[in-house]
A and B are shown apart, each in its own frame.
Chain A
Amino acid sequence: MTTKRIISAVLGIIAGLLVAVVFFADFNKAGENAAGDIKSKAEKVYVPYGELDEYYMMSSGGHSGQLFVYGIPSMRKIRTVPIFTPDPATGYGYSKETKEMLGGFTWGDFHHPAISETAGDYDGEFLFANDVGNNRVAAVDLSTFTTVDIMSLPNMGGPHAGVFVTENTEYIALPTRFARPLDNKYADLDKYEEEYKGVVSMTTFDKETKKFDLAYQIVLPPWSYDLSDAGKKMSGDWIVMTTYNSEFATTNLEINASQNDRDYIVLVNWKKLEEEVAAGNYHDVNGAKMIDPRDHKGAIYAVPVAKSPHGVDVTPDGTRYIAAGKLAPMMTVFSFEQTFEAIEKEDFTDEKYGIPVLSYESVMEREVDPPGALGPLHTQFDDKGNAYNTMFISSEIVKWHIETGEVIDRTPSYYSPGHSAAAEGDTVSPDGKWLVSLNKISKDNFLSVGPSHPESMDLIDISGEKMEHIMAVPVDPEPHYAQIVHRDKINTITVYEKDENRENSVWKQEDARVERKGDEVHVYGIAMRSRFIFDAQSDRPDAVTVKEGDRVFFHLTNIDLDQDITHGFGINEYDLNFEVQPGQTSTLEFVADKAGVYPIYCTNFCSALHQEMSGYLLVEPK
């Protein structure tokens, strides 16, 4: 009896355990592996406090007109640098110098950053930016991460295919996207083929004076120039550009510009054009030295390419150029060696719009068409002879070998990548460590912020045979292209040099003064922890009195030569704010058109007594 009870009790417990195990036990050990996997991914991007990222990523901010600076591999955003857009936080577009530089525009459409190069490698000195929206080019000084010059380009129609730099930054080139009549003329769209032109601006930049100059412009058929690159080493004298709209469509481009089975890669020998311009062989058009490469033998050729190509990228060794198909979903590898040979032999199939067309079969080395991969846009490179292509439509990155065309690996990106950027990926010596896929859409990847989803940047480890997706981070609209440069190449300053001869600068408290010239009032003032001194002689050195209608100039020098002691300068109700960095002198110019009393205060936290750093602008009524 007792034995039976015990047996049934034991059996009952065993049955219960069995049921529990069947229902609740987790036989799927994959969970544990996934956790381990996540940990190793986290370790790859973890940069402990006190240590620094290995790379800077300079990411274009698209129509925000700004540069976004990230650290790689942490993917931490370090700074937003205003280029084409005013920025009250830094006073960009408010100070006299920056306001003049922006020239009345309040935005730009920045697509493709280009870091200055020496011998085909980033030298880390300057970064150039194109403005597709308003036909401009800008330079950012990478010692201060501030915009130092902006130049407007005549005769252009949206320089989308720029900017890219030649091997030694001889030129910063910007080809147009939209054809337009030259010289701001009016011409009916029915006269598109005759009157409209594509233009490439060849600008130079003087590193000493930090100023652009427009060396010359190249006039081209009214095709749409989409993307471009400069040759390297053996191909150093050449630039390559993709075009679409060889149909000369003027409306509904998506259909009308996609009819021809072939579009072109245009090759231009800039060295030859440079010589011709120097010899005076150009026309002056709206202040630009305009040269037609068709007038000069050997200056321009076209290579047929599957329709509507997007990116064209020159390999690190300079021997090949690779077109990404977009609408014809494959990558085409062209050989510069074969191209030069075909040019030598005049192996032309045709002439389009006066441009010799090279035979596709003669210059094409191979076509790479991974099955199911759709919408290739851009090519980046590693240090082992591999290429990486973003596939917009099939949302993936494809790794393949340039020499063999063999597809090595494919990895999904999290929704529709546009560009990608590899570490030093378009120099003569890519590092082959990281690739960032710049995604146009990030649906559902992050906390919702309403109908406008953030875009995404996905970090991919490309150091091994297989690519490994590591993480995704949101980004403000809208990154187009980025360049990833090793931190050792960037040499920033921490304070501006104390230059006692600098115009409008004041370095001693007792020299702070107010000077009136007619109806102009010039304040030569200083900002220091934790006060303003505008007029050392006055009972109230931090107050300035002007008359209604006066043009007021605040020339402000930050005399705190101590790192990170930035002073701001905001004027209540005057919609004005700017800042001066340690050792910097900046000028704020405005018309005191409102009578009254307006508090002035330091807007950038500067010290324990920052709140005490204030004064008054008194505007006496007329």
Chain B
Amino acid sequence: MKKNLSNASVISLITAAIITVSTLFVPWWGMKFYAPQYPEGLDIIVYPSTLAGDIDIVNSLNHYIGMALFSNESFPELQWMPYIVLAFVVLILIVALLRRKSFLYGLIALFVIGGIIGIWDMYRWLKEFGTNLDPMAPIELEPFIPPIIGENTIANFVTHSYFSFGGYLLVLVFILLVFPLWKDRAK
């Protein structure tokens, strides 16, 4: 078998695998809501396996505009996301073990496709929650779609959506996956 990845590239891939595992324990994405009565801000923090922050308070406020309840149950992705992450880690380690550049191309393609699907999925949920408002809600609002990154104003609330540590770490993982392509480029 033709092994065409250098030791440095293998180390890069193993590092990428370790970092990927570590993202399981940090938030990937978040939203922070500010209003005059919440100057300290309310948080929604999304970990790959669970929601955290002021979920109950946000739900009780969203009730006014008829938005569906946020909970771990409303996002089935959260239940199998850790397995996807772990499966990807296994794939990285296999590529590192086999040292085949062609496999690495496949891995990067998979990573990019996964990322695009992930962002599309998030957008889908944001659209679902923001536009599918209960018509019986006491306060009637125009449907809205909060941005994945950036600022948005709904009634008296200003929301900031942002990628968190996990998101940045995944960017780092991508760089570490691409690094061997440069390191072991044809001379």
Contact = CB atoms under 8 A, between A and B. Distances in A.
Interface string A512-550: 000000000000000011100000000000000000000
B60 A560 contact: yes
A530 B61 CA distance: 10
B63 A529 contact: yes
Given A609-B138, A612-B138, A561 B57 contact: yes
A560 B139 CA distance: 19
Contacts of B60: 528-529, 560, 562
Interface in A560-613: 560-562, 607-609, 612
Given A609-B138, A612-B138, A562 B57 contact: yes
Interface residues of A, number: 10
Contacts, number: 20
A609 B64 contact: yes
Interface residues of B, number: 9
Judged by DSSP, the binding face of A is loop
Nearest to B63: A529
Nearest to B138: A609
A532 B57 CA distance: 17
A529 B138 CA distance: 12
Contacts of B121: none
Contacts of A609: 64, 138
Nearest to B57: A562
Contacts of A608: 64, 139
Interface string B104-144: 00000000000000000000000000000000001100000
B56 interface: yes
Contacts of A561: 56-57
Interface in A148-195: none
A609 B64 CA distance: 8
Contacts of B63: 529
Interface string B46-68: 00000000101100110110000
A561 B138 CA distance: 22
Contacts of B56: 561-562
Q: Max chain B CB contacts within 10 Å: which of A562, A607, A608, A612?
A: A562
Contacts of B61: 529
16 contacts: A529-B60, A529-B61, A529-B63, A529-B64, A530-B64, A560-B57, A561-B56, A561-B57, A562-B54, A562-B56, A562-B60, A607-B64, A608-B64, A608-B139, A609-B64, A609-B138
Would you list the 8 A-B pairs with minimal beta carbon distance, nearest first? A562-B57, A529-B60, A609-B138, A560-B60, A561-B56, A528-B60, A609-B64, A612-B138
Given A560-B60, A561-B57, 9 more contacts: A528-B60, A529-B60, A529-B64, A562-B54, A562-B56, A562-B57, A607-B64, A608-B64, A608-B139
